[in-house]
Amino acid sequence: MNAEIVHCEGGVTLLGGGIAAPADVANSLTIAPVLVAADGGADRALALGLMPAAVIGDMDSLSAAGRAALAGRLHPVAEQDSTDFGKCLRLVAARFYLCLGFTGLRLDHTLAALTELTTRPGQIVILIAEDEVIFRAPPRLALDLPLGTRLSLHPMGPASGRSTGLRWPIDGLAFAPESRTGTSNAVTGPVTLEIDGPMLVLLPKDQLSPVLHALLPPDVRGE
């Protein structure tokens, strides 16, 4: 069994070494103020003037300067059966995770991060990419979004579901990565989704607030 490295009663911001706009990192930290870096993401944190509570990973990307600056906060995990992102999600206990810097630079890293979202249905993991917020759809979801908002659904395996509030309803459709996806749907009213199977929801990045409201329980939202 893995011992937790970080335990947080609220949200954690996870920072990787990919693309992460400074404004997005700053906004994430106002929502999930505990910062944990995945390997080379620690160099990104230091460049932004931030000190992560912990650095987790196989440490193959962290610079020598980063190692020196973060001595005592490094938690090497040598196994190669999971990504650094996966290691963080496994070893950091939190109510939810806002994850930046896991997309953009390398397609293989981006694909691996998207896969991690689908393998952890018991965790609330929100990936903040360059232009989008991405998360695994829970079995039931209600979203209050502006009319016309782009909403894409991407299956990571066989999936099906029902919807309201979408221009093209998904009722009765069989989704699968090799056959049918739900790219570029549009919001026509209050959105409800009932999803069976591993399905990613992709929304514009400026819709992070309604996503948080939909995914987080009331006590975490401060209600």
Tell me the domain boundaries of the chain.
Answer: 6-130, 140-200
Read off the pLDDT of residues 50-61 as tens digits, 9 standing for 90 and up: 999 999 999 988
Q: Which of 15-24, 72-81, 84-93, 121-130 has the least mean pLDDT?
A: 72-81
Angle in degrees, CA 68, 69, 71, rounded to 5 = 65
Q: Which CATH architecture has domain 6-130?
A: 3-Layer(aba) Sandwich (3.40)
Is the pLDDT reported for residue 94 higher than 90? Answer: yes
What's the confidence (pLDDT) of residue 81? 79
Residue 100 three-state SS:
strand
Read off the pLDDT of residues 170-220 as tens digits, 9 standing for 90 and up: 999 999 999 999 999 999 999 999 999 999 999 999 999 999 999 998 888
Residue range 140-200 forms a domain whose CATH class is mainly beta
Residue 127 three-state SS:
strand
Q: Do domains 6-130 and 140-200 have the same CATH topology?
A: no
> Closest by alpha carbon to 205, among 124, 110, 131, 113?
131
pLDDT band at 2 (very low <50, low <70, confident <90, very high): low
Count CB atoms within 10 A of the CB of residue 46: 18
